[in-house]
Amino acid sequence: MNYIVGIDIGGTNLVLGTVSEDGSVLYGLRKEPTRAEEGPDAVVARLVGLSRQAIEDTRAADPETKVIGVGIGSPGPLDRVTGRVLITPNLGWTDFPLRDAIREALALPTALDNDANCAVLGEWWRGAARDTQHAVGITVGTGIGGGIIIDGKLYHGFSEVAGELGHTTIDANGRLCKCGNYGCLEAYAAGPAIARRAVEALRAEVDSSLPDYVSGKLEALSAQIVYQAARDGDQLALEVVRETSRLLGIGIANLVNIFNPEVVVVCGGVTMAGASLFDPLRQEVRRRAFRPAAEACRIVPGELIGTAGVYGAVRAFLDQLDDGLISGMDDA
Amino acid sequence: MNYIVGIDIGGTNLVLGTVSEDGSVLYGLRKEPTRAEEGPDAVVARLVGLSRQAIEDTRAADPETKVIGVGIGSPGPLDRVTGRVLITPNLGWTDFPLRDAIREALALPTALDNDANCAVLGEWWRGAARDTQHAVGITVGTGIGGGIIIDGKLYHGFSEVAGELGHTTIDANGRLCKCGNYGCLEAYAAGPAIARRAVEALRAEVDSSLPDYVSGKLEALSAQIVYQAARDGDQLALEVVRETSRLLGIGIANLVNIFNPEVVVVCGGVTMAGASLFDPLRQEVRRRAFRPAAEACRIVPGELIGTAGVYGAVRAFLDQLDDGLISGMDDA
């Protein structure tokens, strides 16, 4: 069987594995800290080593293994055509030829796409958005990214930078976002914003167990801890999660009115909040979006926890191969 | 040459004409008040009469004329597949089989699409967005509608109701919109909202010539009058136009970050405000959108003043014909 190495480069972790070209099996899954501060060359060297191990695992499991390429999902902005990562605030890399560095080291045709695009593409291929033609996904983590599937393909826009769904204004006079705009969805509902709203709420309200989770060090509060406390029944944490639902609901209602998608997949750590997030979120979308669009659309958590980006990177390779965007090794 | 009758049903006017299938000529242009209160049957009867006149004009101009079909742009929501107009708040029609009524009267294959979709499609085919693959248009009139062109085709979404670009929240806690949501772009920047903001500004500021345009009857103030006064140099009117630029700029920056389009076309009466609107609007978009997306995107007024909907309805017919969505007269 033909396999493709899928690499998901996150701000925190590198995740990779090999996926069969029909998407049915994933072998050799590996995960380790990114340690971006070591610089891109060191990270690439580790990725190459991990990829070789994953390929060996795959050969051990399936003697007929043929590895035909590599797909990489990376924070961006990046240029799919030249394969360069332009700027990555979370990694600190600038204008780095990531695709060709991996391609030359592994001697395999290689494709690059944006990490959020890959996560959404993975969910579309093998996860919560499978069997749809029109899907939208948002990834809620350190930032809020997005991916748009139209007619069963990732939409990249005119100059390859479409899908910045976290950087849409939901409050014209709102909080400054790190992108320079005011009132972006990301400034309210990404992980750090969730933690910050919890800290703000704690200033007004003392009856909460949240400080106990971080031994009173509020600067250590994270969105994950807020979700945990909400699951444990802390009322203040539940209120922060409900407000997160409302804010994400505004952003998602906008996407529902714009795209009339069959499904909106919400990926990332925020899905840990479970029904306490998704129930009010769906309610907010129904309250705000046009009824025919809202009724047509499922809003669901991602299913491929931890591996959506790997599956998506592999699918991005296959799609770029189909589109003639991948040069063979002889042209390299 | 083959011609198609293009019909644009507006809340105020009916506009129609015949357009050659290559889009190069428009004959028999006709415009008259809609008078929706007469009911859909009476309006259809007039449309049929006007269409026959337009077809005669076309035959007089081009003896080789062959009329192959009819395209209709109508306020919606509507169902392209069944050809029914579901609800039209501005016309007061409910579940009316508009397409088949016209098709049977004219005995020609007929297609139906949303009016805003048609206006944007017209601008893409023959106007300000021609020669692009990815374009977004908004129509600013009594409401704010939109159309999305992806890979050179109108995007309709999963259940045919995509593109409600005026009903995206730009202010989470903002004004109630007539769609039931709070803070929609339409609630701030459509014609009636522009007039209302002018009236609100006049309450705080007496040094304006705006009341003179309506003999002191502020309830008669319209967006058109605000644009006229701004062109005449009235400072308060200019301030209202600038604020309109800022508000439209927020909505358009969102579309730029989401779609990374090559061009955003702004259609409708608001284009009358000219550079006093467009210059600050472009500035606001540059200030708010990601630089690579903002730099890639032209923001321009529509060019087909009064006829975009006619051209677009014709193009919608041709596209639906290509897509096999139009049944021949024998199947009717």
Contact A168/B261, CB-based, under 8 Å? no
What is the rounded average pLDDT of the residues B160-176?
Answer: 95
pLDDT score of B83 more than 80: yes
pLDDT score of A56 more than 70: yes
Chain A residues whose CB is inside 8 A of the B162 CB are 258-260, 293
pLDDT for the residue numbered B330: 56
User: Model-level pTM greater than 0.90?
Assistant: yes
**Pairing label, strands A84-88, A93-96:** antiparallel
The Cβ-side half-sphere exposure at A24, using a 13 Å CA radius, reads: 3
Give alpha helix (H) positions in B23-163.
40-61, 98-106, 115-126
pLDDT score of A332 more than 80: no
In this complex, the residue of B77, B156, B261 whose CB is nearest that of residue A292 is B77
At A149, is the pLDDT very low, low, confident or very high (cuts 50, 70, 90)?
Answer: very high
CA distance B220 to chain A (A): 29
Interval B249-267: pLDDT, tens: 999 999 999 999 999 999 9
Chain B residues whose CB is inside 8 A of the A186 CB are none
Measured CA to CA, the distance from residue A259 to residue B161 in angstroms comes to 8
What is the rounded average pLDDT of the residues A100-110?
Answer: 97
CA distance B171 to chain A (A): 4
Helix, strand, coil percentages for chain B (3-state, nearest 5): 45, 25, 30
Interval B52-73: pLDDT, tens: 999 999 999 999 999 999 999 9
Q: Which residue of A has its CA nearest to B170?
A: A170
Measured CA to CA, the distance from residue A288 to residue A280 in angstroms comes to 12
Chain A residues whose CB is inside 8 A of the B169 CB are 170, 250, 253-254, 288
What is the rounded average pLDDT of the residues B186-215?
Answer: 94
- Choose the mutation target among B80, B154, B155, B158 for the interface with A, i.e. most A CBs under 10 Å: B158
In this complex, the residue of B164, B170, B181 whose CB is nearest that of residue A172 is B170
What is the rounded average pLDDT of the residues A45-50?
Answer: 98
Chain A residues whose CB is inside 8 A of the B174 CB are 172
A34-43, A74-83, B220-229: least confidently modelled range: A74-83
CA distance B54 to chain A (A): 36
CA distances from A94 to A37, A75, A76, B15, B37 (A): 13, 11, 10, 54, 62
In this complex, the residue of B158, B170, B259 whose CB is nearest that of residue A162 is B259
Q: In this predicted complex, what is the ipTM?
A: 0.94
Chain B residues whose CB is inside 8 A of the A163 CB are 258, 260
Q: Is B274 left (phi over 0), alpha (psi -120 to 50) or beta?
A: left
- Here the tokens at position A78 are 């990046």
Interval B203-248: pLDDT, tens: 987 789 999 999 999 999 999 999 999 999 999 999 999 999 999 9
At A328, is the pLDDT very low, low, confident or very high (cuts 50, 70, 90)?
Answer: low
What is the rounded average pLDDT of the residues A184-204?
Answer: 95
Contact B288/A170, CB-based, under 8 Å? no
DSSP letters spanning B222-258: -HHHHHHHHHTT-HHHHHHHHHHHHHHHHHHHHHHHH
**Pairing label, strands A110-114, A263-267:** unpaired
Chain A residues whose CB is inside 8 A of the B180 CB are 287-288
Interval A13-29: pLDDT, tens: 999 999 999 999 999 99
pLDDT for the residue numbered A91: 86
Q: What is the mean pLDDT of chain A?
A: 94
Check residues A330 and A295 and name the one with the higher pLDDT.
Answer: A295
What is the rounded average pLDDT of the residues B169-183?
Answer: 94
Measured CA to CA, the distance from residue B227 to residue B232 in angstroms comes to 9
pLDDT score of A156 more than 60: yes
What is the rounded average pLDDT of the residues A263-287?
Answer: 94
pLDDT score of B332 more than 50: no
Domains of chain B: residue spans and CATH? 2-121+307-331 (3.30.420.40), 130-301 (3.30.420.40)
At A89, is the pLDDT very low, low, confident or very high (cuts 50, 70, 90)?
Answer: confident
**Pairing label, strands B13-20, A66-74:** unpaired
**Pairing label, strands B93-96, B153-154:** unpaired
Chain A residues whose CB is inside 8 A of the B250 CB are 169, 172
Contact A157/B261, CB-based, under 8 Å? yes
CA distance B155 to chain A (A): 8
**Residue labelled with tokens 């700029």:** B249
Measured CA to CA, the distance from residue B36 to residue B49 in angstroms comes to 16
At B171, is the pLDDT very low, low, confident or very high (cuts 50, 70, 90)?
Answer: very high
Q: What percent of chain B has pLDDT above 90?
A: 87
